[in-house]
Amino acid sequence: MASLVGSRVERKEDKRFLTGKGRYTADINLANQTYAIFVRSPHARASIKKLNIDKALKSSGIVSILTGKEIADDKIGGLIAGWAIRSEDGTEMKCPGNPPLAKDNVNFVGDPVAVVIAESLAEAKEAAEKVEVDYKVLKAVTSTADAMNGDTIHEGIDKNLCFDWLLGDRQKVKEAFDKADKVISIDIINNRLIPNAMEPRACVADYNAASEEITLYTTSQNPHLSRLIMSAFGNVAPEHKLRVVAPDVGGGFGSKINVYNEDIVCSWAAKKINRAIKWVAERSESFLTDIHGRDHVTHAELAVTKDGKFLGFKNETIANLGAYARVFGTVTPTYLFGPCATGVYEIPAAYTNVKAVYTNTAPVDAYRGAGRPEATYTIERLVEKASMELGIDKTELRIKNFPTAFPFKQTLVHTVDSGDYVAGMEKAKQMADYKGFEARRKESEAKGKLRGIGVTSYFEACGIAPSAAVMSLGCGVGLWESAEVRFNPTGQVTVYTGSHSHGQSHQTTFAQIAADELGVPIENIDIVHGDTDKGTFGMGTYGSRSLAVGGIAIVNACKKIVEKGKRVTAKMLEANPEDVEFKDGEFIVSKSNKKKTIGEVAFACYLPGVRDEMKSPLPEGDEPGLKETSFYDPSNFSFPAGTHIAEVEIDPETGHVKLEKYTACDDFGRIINPMVVEGQVHGGLAQGIGQALYENAEYDETGQLMTGSYMDYTMPRADNFPEFNIGYTCTHATTNPLGVKGCGEAGAIAAPPTVMNAVIDALGGQEVTMPATAEKVWKACKNLKKSNAKAA
């Protein structure tokens, strides 16, 4: 049987999506359902003086109106941060309460204060307009850089500071800087982004009075984790009385990791009114209330020798958490950021200091890459600047500081098990025709255009995560993953995974893995996910963990199936279990060459009695049935890496940046389905290039979101991109049996510095902040003309 792992298997999920049969949360309608509209704060910071629902209650079709008072009276808990971070001085981080409906204070535009539930959506909307809220508007804090000087947003949290965290050794860094020939320094703004999964968030909550069970259909990347949080912290229902279903989910990119206010409120309210409640976000609500990403202000320095050896690195960052700390809000700018801050380089001394601040803006949390894009942007911009200042070729300078051997013990935290960064660089240069760039630059010049080339070498820590490691760093849960592999008596296989697919293709790639492990045709394998009533448990999908953690759980459960199958075959064929081998779906007794197919063995496991000439196939101690579970906890993170090269051409007359070429050469370890991996790379690149050239979330000084629709927030379109040139090198991960590393976030991590390095190269080294809009670039081109004229 040919191996499916490594093949371009077409996706099992596609037909339903292509024929309109996908079932997303907004497509679900339950009998006798009601409709919810949330009344949201129009102010970024205010106290609620009075909330009057009398008029709204008289509106037609009203079922119920619930406010922060009722939710507090019912002791429903608030939203939480999943990681406890400790400051450099040893104090614990400071987190404000975040009730699902605000009772006393609102802290960002969109913060919900009441829910209006009506017989129809139109009636709910009409009544919501009649809810009267008397606010005392307070001065908002919106600037990341100045947040510590603003008014105190949350009582008792001085300087709006959640924590002041340090990773690394300041003294060693000081010593390294003292020895340096040169210090390269840079100031960076990592622009705020809005994830914008195409499916707006939604939920449908139902209550069954007979079983006293709440069912919540929701747009989640991790239904089990949602249930755990809603139960343990939200006090919505005990876990066994709360079922969370995440059906087809239209993209997440981190924005659907969090439990949101609406999930808790609708679940709680459905029980209260004893009817189903449906809520679907309008896009404008998504802009205001989905978690946002990035938003760092950084000063970084690199100490170098004159021949380009890196000696020391420091990174001082202010990270905006928004109004509240959410699930991955505090870990994103710390442990997902700091350990990757030194990039792919041997730097003997380094530290990262992060001050995480509250502002009156939407909560900031994990968005594709989460911390690693910010880390990579800083070090790669700095290295590029170093190459300019030292006059050393940008690729040579990088190679000079790459690790020469693996495992590579990084300065700060990680031990990278495998990689070959030089091979990745050389291949990327070849793919991009790096040598031919100067000729292309001259051609552009002849047309009156400016051409630039940018390079990034990155690595990321993903496959999140070894439980022992993350729990020692403050994570509130273990980050293992589970799988259950169940043979039906007639030979088909159902695989339950705790991961969740919202575009990642698990239905196909996980089936490829199980098909190879079990020797069962892929069409006889179903992957089931997204329902707490079905799988055992699961931590969900984020941090490129589905394959490197969830996939290995599937492999391990399959191996247990095979082990039992060997015992059963031995009994059936009167052989020693040690003499039974398994290959391509057959159990073979090596001595006699007698065999049983895995289908026959599965069938026998379900018919353990005496039948015809056959005695019971079950060895003593084995139970009937054929079903195995695995909880896999990785021993290390996985470390994809690569080099990306971009070329841009700038029209100095208009400031328009045209991305001419983009080359990505990545090492993802073993690849299960090359077609799917290419898709993941393309998508990540589009988001990364989007950050560099187009996207920006902007609040004004009063805390109003100025980019609250697709009219204002520039989403990348088809005509914004060239055809990407994708290639790979391959070193297998040594810490998992598949040798896989993960591929979902790479593009979003590597693309921003790659593109910006190219833009800044074209502009003769002039700094431009992301996104490099035509206006900013045009101004830089004018400066360039002036300085050129002076030089002449």
Partner 1 sequence: MGKISLEVNGRKVEKEAPDNTLLSTFLREYLQLTGTHIGCDTSQCGACVVHVDGNSLKSCTALAADINGSKVTTIEGLETNGKMHPMQEAFKKLHGLQCGFCTPGMVMSAVDLLQKNKKPSDTEIRDWLEGNICRCTGYQNIVAAVKEAATKM
Sites of contact with partner 1 (CB under 8 A): 10-11, 13-24, 26-27, 122, 196-200, 248-251, 253, 280, 282-284, 502-505, 675-676, 678-679, 682-687, 709-711, 715, 717-719, 721, 723-724, 747
Residues 347 and 378: their CA atoms lie apart, in Å, by 15
Rg (CA), the chain: 28
Closest CA relative to residue 601, chosen from 631, 568, 563, 632: 568
The least distance separating partner 1 from the CB of residue 492, rounded to whole angstroms, comes to 23
Choose between 144 and 687: whose C-beta lies nearer to partner 1: 687
The least distance separating partner 1 from the CB of residue 322, rounded to whole angstroms, comes to 21
Element (H, E) at 772: none
Phi, psi of 476 (to 5 degrees): -80, -10
Starting at the edge strand that comes first in sequence, how are the strands of the sheet with 105-106 ordered? 105-106, 46-52, 132-137
Q: 764 Cβ partners below 8 Å, 6+ apart?
A: 784, 787
The least distance separating partner 1 from the CB of residue 664, rounded to whole angstroms, comes to 11
The least distance separating partner 1 from the CB of residue 526, rounded to whole angstroms, comes to 18
Choose between 197 and 350: whose C-beta lies nearer to partner 1: 197
Choose between 614 and 715: whose C-beta lies nearer to partner 1: 715
Report the SS3 class of residue 238. coil
Phi, psi of 378 (to 5 degrees): -65, -55
The least distance separating partner 1 from the CB of residue 529, rounded to whole angstroms, comes to 14
The least distance separating partner 1 from the CB of residue 704, rounded to whole angstroms, comes to 17
Between the two ends of the chain, the Cα-to-Cα distance in Å is: 71
Query: Helix, strand, coil: what percent of the chain each, to 5?
Result: 30, 25, 45
Closest CA relative to residue 746, chosen from 675, 670, 677: 677
E strands, 32-130, are: 34-40, 46-52, 62-67, 105-106, 112-118
The least distance separating partner 1 from the CB of residue 460, rounded to whole angstroms, comes to 18
Choose between 359 and 663: whose C-beta lies nearer to partner 1: 663
Question: 250 is written with which tokens?
Answer: 């239209």
Cβ-based neighbour number of residue 539 at 10 Å? 25
DSSP tag of 536 = S
Q: Which amino acid is at 770?
A: M
DSSP tag of 15 = H
Choose between 251 and 348: whose C-beta lies nearer to partner 1: 251
Choose between 122 and 614: whose C-beta lies nearer to partner 1: 122
Choose between 578 and 719: whose C-beta lies nearer to partner 1: 719
The least distance separating partner 1 from the CB of residue 400, rounded to whole angstroms, comes to 32
Cβ-based neighbour number of residue 211 at 10 Å? 10
The least distance separating partner 1 from the CB of residue 365, rounded to whole angstroms, comes to 17
Choose between 11 and 275: whose C-beta lies nearer to partner 1: 11
The least distance separating partner 1 from the CB of residue 688, rounded to whole angstroms, comes to 10
DSSP assignment string, 425-460: HHHHHHHHTGGGHHHHHHHHHHTT-EEEEEEEEEE-
The least distance separating partner 1 from the CB of residue 554, rounded to whole angstroms, comes to 21
Instruction: Give the CA distances from residue 151 to residues 141, 142, 147, 321, 705, in Å, rounded to whole numbers and listed in that order.
Output: 7, 11, 8, 16, 20
DSSP tag of 615 = P
Choose between 1 and 18: whose C-beta lies nearer to partner 1: 18
DSSP tag of 58 = T
Is residue 308 within 8 Å of residue 382, measured between CB atoms? Answer: no
Element (H, E) at 423: helix 421-432
CA angle, 161 as apex, 159 and 162 as ends, to 5°?
A: 155
Determine whether 373 is exposed, middle or buried from the number of CB atoms within 10 Å of its CB (0-12, 13-18, 19+).
buried
Q: 301 Cβ partners below 8 Å, 6+ apart?
A: 177, 183, 184, 185, 186, 313, 314, 382
The least distance separating partner 1 from the CB of residue 444, rounded to whole angstroms, comes to 19
The least distance separating partner 1 from the CB of residue 271, rounded to whole angstroms, comes to 26
Choose between 300 and 511: whose C-beta lies nearer to partner 1: 511
- Find residue 500's DSSP bridge partners: none
Is residue 131 within 8 Å of residue 38, measured between CB atoms? Answer: no
Closest CA relative to residue 726, chosen from 674, 659, 648, 657: 674
The least distance separating partner 1 from the CB of residue 19, rounded to whole angstroms, comes to 6
Residues 219 and 207: their CA atoms lie apart, in Å, by 18
Report the SS3 class of residue 332. coil
Determine whether 570 is exposed, middle or buried from the number of CB atoms within 10 Å of its CB (0-12, 13-18, 19+).
buried
The least distance separating partner 1 from the CB of residue 10, rounded to whole angstroms, comes to 6
Choose between 21 and 306: whose C-beta lies nearer to partner 1: 21
The least distance separating partner 1 from the CB of residue 349, rounded to whole angstroms, comes to 38
Choose between 129 and 151: whose C-beta lies nearer to partner 1: 129
Question: 611 is written with which tokens?
Answer: 């039948």
Choose between 146 and 678: whose C-beta lies nearer to partner 1: 678
Choose between 211 and 709: whose C-beta lies nearer to partner 1: 709
The least distance separating partner 1 from the CB of residue 789, rounded to whole angstroms, comes to 36
Determine whether 760 is exposed, middle or buried from the number of CB atoms within 10 Å of its CB (0-12, 13-18, 19+).
buried
Closest CA relative to residue 139, chosen from 47, 39, 51: 47
Choose between 721 and 778: whose C-beta lies nearer to partner 1: 721
Cβ-based neighbour number of residue 344 at 10 Å? 28
Residues 418 and 170: their CA atoms lie apart, in Å, by 29
Choose between 199 and 417: whose C-beta lies nearer to partner 1: 199
The least distance separating partner 1 from the CB of residue 16, rounded to whole angstroms, comes to 8
Choose between 418 and 501: whose C-beta lies nearer to partner 1: 501
Instruction: Give the CA distances from residue 401 to residues 395, 397, 406, in Å, rounded to whole numbers and listed in that order.
Output: 10, 7, 14
Choose between 207 and 662: whose C-beta lies nearer to partner 1: 662
